[in-house]
Amino acid sequence: MSGHSKWATIKRKKAALDAKRGNMFTRLIKEITIAARQGGGDPNGNPRLRLAVDNAKSANMPADNIDRAIKKATGELEGVTYTEITYEGYGPAGIAIMIESATDNKNRTVAEIRHHFTKHGGSMGESGSVAWMFDRKGVITIQREDRTEDDMMEIILDAGGDDLQTEDEFFVVTTSLETFEPVRRAVVEKGVKVENASLQWVAKNNVGVAGEDAEKVGKLIEALEECDDVQNVYSNADFRD
């Protein structure tokens, strides 16, 4: 199956630093808050909340933080209301970029995102300008431990998964929207450690970037990811050696 994304590998190497800065916990708390506000505070009856809580636990978030986020969303505690907005644009070398945000101030968020596009040689686009280059997919990141690719392939194909990518320390499983939860459940039931599972924008076709272009694209993506209101950044860049 397809090769791994070098940017995904780079991002995972940054994960420990992100956790120290608190970025990871902040984004997880926002996702829990939005999920609970939209579908109620019971994870058993709210699939999005159950997924958000599972991801938070995988990131070693304290249970008190999770409970407090849910209570703020359901009105038991005073909290902030977040709005989800997706932005689109082009980076250096014509790379397409999708940005998911959760914000309590739309004007602040769009101004900050536009600033980073301009500063790093990109441009914001209208809604739909690059979305057609991506598919909405389920992505499950699994710790390899001592499992072989054949072992994982059997599990995900039996459950309806689409693709398996192998990295140094992880397997990355791709699913359709319909099979995302069945595949995730099948993996968990096999006792496999799931690092993260989420719905993502996956590029239909990647565009190779190298040298100076790769450096410019990487700096833009990193700047966008460090925005407080940004939850996730996706691109069709394939970072070459």
CA distances from 82 to 36, 41, 61, 85, 149 (A): 12, 16, 20, 10, 40
Among 33, 36, 43, smallest CA distance to 103 is for: 33
Among 85, 33, 22, smallest CA distance to 229 is for: 85
Per-residue pLDDT at 163 exceeds 80: yes
Q: What is the pLDDT of residue 22?
A: 63
Q: What is the pLDDT of residue 104?
A: 94
Separation CA 119–CA 135 (nearest Å): 28
pLDDT tens sequence across 138-161? 999 988 887 888 888 888 888 888
Separation CA 20–CA 30 (nearest Å): 17
CA distances from 148 to 24, 110, 143, 196 (A): 29, 44, 11, 19
pLDDT tens sequence across 99-151? 999 999 999 999 999 999 999 999 999 999 999 999 999 999 988 887 888 88
Please, what's the b/e burial string for 184-197 (b: 16 or more CB within 10 A of its CB; e: otherwise)? bebbeeeebebbbb
Per DSSP, the three-state class of 2 is coil
The residue type of 92 is: P
Percent of the chain whose pLDDT exceeds 90: 66
- pTM: predicted TM-score of the whole model, two decimal places: 0.85
Q: What is the pLDDT of residue 70?
A: 95
Separation CA 161–CA 147 (nearest Å): 17
What domains can be seen in the chain, in order of their start residue? Answer: 6-74 (1.10.10.200), 83-132+204-239 (3.30.70.980), 134-203 (3.30.70.980)
Cβ neighbors of 117 (< 8 A, separation 6 or more) are: 89, 91, 123, 124, 220
Among 96, 108, 178, smallest CA distance to 136 is for: 178
Separation CA 60–CA 195 (nearest Å): 10
In a 13 Å sphere around the CA of 55, the CA atoms on its Cβ side amount to 24
Query: Beta strands of 61-169 (E only): which ranges?
Result: 83-90, 96-103, 123-125, 134-143, 163-166
